[in-house]
Structure 1
Amino acid sequence: MFGFLLDEIPLILDEHIKDVRLVRERYQSALLPAAPAAGVETLGRAFHSIRPHPALVSAEDETAFLQVLSKGVTIVLLDQANLNSPLALSLVSTIVCDMGLKNAVEKLSEPWMLYEIFTKIVDVVTQKQQQEAVKQETAVKKTVPVVTTAAAGMVINPSTVTAQAGTVYRRVVRLCGSALARGGKMLAFVGGFASGEASALEKTRVPLIGTSVFSLMSTLLQLGERKPLVPAALRVCTVPLGYGRLGKVCNRVVAYYLELFLGNAGAVANIIRIARETLFPNAGPMGPGRVYPDPDEQAAIRAHCHKALLGCMSETAKFMVLGDEPKESIDEILDLFADKLVNKHLVYALLEHIIARLVPELTEVTPQELLDIKLGSSTQSR
Structure 2
Amino acid sequence: MSRLQPRLKATATSNVSPQSASALSIPIPTSKEPLSRTATPIARQNSRLPPADPVSDRATLFLIRRTLCSHLSDKGRSTPAPIDELLPPLTSSNEVDLQLYALIAIIIREFVHTWYTKITPDPYFVEEVVKIIAHCTRALEQRLRKVDLESLLFDELPDLLETHVRAYRIANYSSHPPPLEGDPRRIYHSLWPFPALAPVPDNNGPLVQQQLNNEAAYRQLLVHGVLAVLLPTEDLENDCLTTLVGQIFSEMILGGGIGGKASEPWLLWEGITKIGETIQTQLPNSKAAVRLDRSNSESSNQPPLDVTGGNTKGWNIGWSIQRTFWLILQYAFLTFTTIRFLIVTVATSSSLPSRIPATKKLTGSAKTSDHISGPKPHSERTSDATIRPLKRPIIKMKLWSCVSSLFDLAIRMPWLYGTISMLQWGALAGPGELGNADGMLDKILSHAIQTRVLDPSLLPLLLRNARAALFPNNTLAPPRTIPSPAEQLLIRRRCAETILSLMPAKMQDIYFGAVKERRVQEVEEVLNVFSDSYCNKHLLYGVVELIIVRLIPELSEKGVDELLDERLS
Report the CA distance between 1:235 and its aligned residue: 1.9
Q: Partners in 1 of 2:236 and 2:442 — Cα distance?
A: 42
Q: Partners in 2 of 1:294 and 1:30 — Cα distance?
A: 27
The reply on whether 1:260 has 2:446 as its aligned counterpart is no
Q: Which amino acid in 2 is paired with 1:108? A: A
The reply on whether 1:90 has 2:243 as its aligned counterpart is yes
The reply on whether 1:322 has 2:322 as its aligned counterpart is no
Q: Partners in 1 of 2:155 and 2:350 — Cα distance?
A: 23
Select 1:220's aligned residue among 406, 422, 426: 406
Report the CA distance between 1:18 and its aligned residue: 0.9
Matched pairs, number? 336
Report the CA distance between 1:282 and its aligned residue: 4.2
Report the CA distance between 1:62 and its aligned residue: 0.4
Contact 1:32 1:46 in 2 (8 A): no
Report the CA distance between 1:59 and its aligned residue: 0.7
Select 1:234's aligned residue among 420, 430, 446: 420
Of 191-200 and 82-91, deviating more is: 191-200
Higher relative contact order, structure no. (Cα contacts within 8 Å, ≥ 6 residues apart): 1
Q: Partners in 2 of 1:310 and 1:197 — Cα distance?
A: 37
Q: Show CA shifts across 1:244-268 (max 9, x none).
A: 3632122222222333346534422
Q: Partners in 2 of 1:3 and 1:237 — Cα distance?
A: 22
Contact 2:273 2:494 in 1 (8 A): yes
Q: Partners in 1 of 2:166 and 2:554 — Cα distance?
A: 31
Of 222-231 and 269-278, deviating more is: 269-278
The residue that corresponds to 2:127 in the other structure is none
Contact 1:75 1:89 in 2 (8 A): no
**CA, structure 1 residues 319+206, in 2 after alignment: closer, same or farther (shift >3 Å)?**
farther
**CA, structure 1 residues 73+262, in 2 after alignment: closer, same or farther (shift >3 Å)?**
farther
The residue that corresponds to 2:185 in the other structure is 44
The reply on whether 1:331 has 2:485 as its aligned counterpart is no
Q: Which amino acid in 1 is paired with 2:539? A: L
The reply on whether 1:55 has 2:196 as its aligned counterpart is yes
Q: Which amino acid in 2 is paired with 1:83? A: L
DSSP 3-state at the match of 2:474: coil
Gaps of 5+ in 2: 1-148, 199-210, 294-305, 309-328, 362-389
Select 1:19's aligned residue among 167, 185, 190: 167
**CA, structure 1 residues 300+329, in 2 after alignment: closer, same or farther (shift >3 Å)?**
closer
DSSP 3-state at the match of 2:173: helix
**CA, structure 1 residues 131+326, in 2 after alignment: closer, same or farther (shift >3 Å)?**
closer
The residue that corresponds to 2:111 in the other structure is none
Contact 2:264 2:533 in 1 (8 A): yes
The residue that corresponds to 1:148 in the other structure is none
Q: Partners in 2 of 1:350 and 1:31 — Cα distance?
A: 35
More helix by share: 1
Q: What does residue range 155-304 of structure 1 map to in structure 2 within 5 Å?
A: 187-195=343-351, 198=354, 200-201=356-357, 204-243=390-429, 244=432, 246-247=434-435, 248-261=439-452, 264-278=455-469, 280-282=470-472, 284-285=474-475, 288-304=478-494
**CA, structure 1 residues 372+290, in 2 after alignment: closer, same or farther (shift >3 Å)?**
farther
DSSP 3-state at the match of 1:233: helix
Report the CA distance between 1:273 and its aligned residue: 3.8
Report the CA distance between 1:292 and its aligned residue: 3.5
Q: Which amino acid in 1 is paired with 2:239? A: P
The residue that corresponds to 2:62 in the other structure is none
Q: Which amino acid in 2 is paired with 1:5? A: L
The residue that corresponds to 1:158 in the other structure is none
Q: Show CA shifts across 1:139-173 (max 9, x none).
A: xxxxxxxxxxxx999xxxxxxxxxxxxxxxxxx9x
Q: What does residue range 112-191 of structure 1 map to in structure 2 within 5 Å?
A: 112-130=266-284, 187-191=343-347
Contact 1:6 1:212 in 2 (8 A): yes
Q: Partners in 1 of 2:172 and 2:401 — Cα distance?
A: 20
The residue that corresponds to 2:551 in the other structure is 358
The residue that corresponds to 2:498 in the other structure is 308
Report the CA distance between 1:360 and its aligned residue: 0.9
Q: Show CA shifts across 1:70-125 (max 9, x none).
A: 11112222122211211111111111111221122122211111111211221122
Q: Partners in 1 of 2:454 and 2:491 — Cα distance?
A: 33
Of 108-117 and 305-314, deviating more is: 305-314
**CA, structure 1 residues 339+185, in 2 after alignment: closer, same or farther (shift >3 Å)?**
closer
Q: Which amino acid in 1 is paired with 2:520? A: K
Report the CA distance between 1:351 and its aligned residue: 1.5
Q: Which amino acid in 1 is paired with 2:419? A: A
**CA, structure 1 residues 241+120, in 2 after alignment: closer, same or farther (shift >3 Å)?**
farther
Report the CA distance between 1:198 and its aligned residue: 4.8
RMSD of equivalent CA atoms: 3.6
**CA, structure 1 residues 320+31, in 2 after alignment: closer, same or farther (shift >3 Å)?**
farther
Q: Show CA shifts across 1:191-226 (max 9, x none).
A: 232358955348821112211111111101101111
Q: Show CA shifts across 1:21-78 (max 9, x none).
A: 11112276599744xxxxx4xx334422332211112110000001100111122221
Q: Partners in 1 of 2:475 and 2:239 — Cα distance?
A: 28
Q: Partners in 2 of 1:72 and 1:121 — Cα distance?
A: 32
Report the CA distance between 1:355 and its aligned residue: 1.2
Higher Cα Rg: structure 1 or 2? 2
The residue that corresponds to 1:348 in the other structure is 541
Gaps of 5+ in 1: 35-39, 139-150, 154-171, 377-382
Q: Partners in 2 of 1:182 and 1:274 — Cα distance?
A: 36
**CA, structure 1 residues 321+242, in 2 after alignment: closer, same or farther (shift >3 Å)?**
farther
Contact 1:282 1:290 in 2 (8 A): no
Q: Partners in 2 of 1:184 and 1:360 — Cα distance?
A: 45
The reply on whether 1:373 has 2:566 as its aligned counterpart is yes
Report the CA distance between 1:15 and its aligned residue: 1.6
Report the CA distance between 1:182 and its aligned residue: 10
Q: Which amino acid in 2 is paired with 1:20? A: Y
The reply on whether 1:80 has 2:233 as its aligned counterpart is yes
Q: Which amino acid in 1 is paired with 2:440? A: V
**CA, structure 1 residues 121+190, in 2 after alignment: closer, same or farther (shift >3 Å)?**
farther
Contact 2:394 2:446 in 1 (8 A): no
DSSP 3-state at the match of 2:521: helix
Report the CA distance between 1:316 and its aligned residue: 2.4
Report the CA distance between 1:368 and its aligned residue: 2.1
